[in-house]
A = this chain, B = another copy of it.
């Protein structure tokens, strides 16, 4: 026989096959972005029926090792470079250099960042956002939705929410490009001096909408980051809600030791 899977074992056949292919991927015999043998080829190769092969490939999909496209085939997933989001990306010095936070963080990862503004305009505040902003649920707030790309592939979808009475007075916030240093620079110019940011990190599987927005395969994990920007008077003037493809980001935080 051309190939013997893991000899005899208690494991079901489809897992043996999945393990065998996984091993080939990890050993580099199947390179990233390379096509793995078609279902019919695998059926012959392992001498099993189509159903079994399909279950094996499905297993690899849920492990996140391959992606399959109908009509084309299954391909070894290539791991995109990770970009680090360090907690000092909000330094004013970055803003004074004219850089918005996302530029400061991605340019050091060696990838070309791009932004696409999806929408800017008033929306009624969702519950969690309203609570964070200290307004009532359903109140009018400004939402800025945008999609970030690294080297052309979408990696991150972010929505900033601002209380209407804050946003109203700052015309740049309604522009696609809010100007050098991003919206945080504009907010500080208008007297909202930031004291701190608080970030909430969650991880979960992408919903259908999120998966399609970030062109992920279903079942991909995402990082859900929600940030409050708090001014020196203790007011939250912006909440930023971000969905990130989990395999493309690493978050770094510094926690000073205090009493």
Contact = CB atoms under 8 A, between A and B. Distances in A.
Interface string A236-259: 000000000011011111111111
A91 interface: yes
Interface stretch (A31-39, A170-178, A194-202): A194-202
A147 interface: no
Nearest to A87: B255
Contact of A253 (B63, B249, B255, B258): B255
Interface of A: 62-64, 87-88, 90-93, 193-205, 218-219, 221-223, 246-247, 249-259
21 contacts: A63-B219, A64-B204, A87-B255, A91-B259, A92-B258, A93-B259, A196-B254, A196-B257, A197-B254, A197-B255, A198-B253, A201-B201, A201-B250, A201-B251, A201-B252, A201-B253, A202-B250, A203-B222, A204-B247, A221-B221, A221-B246
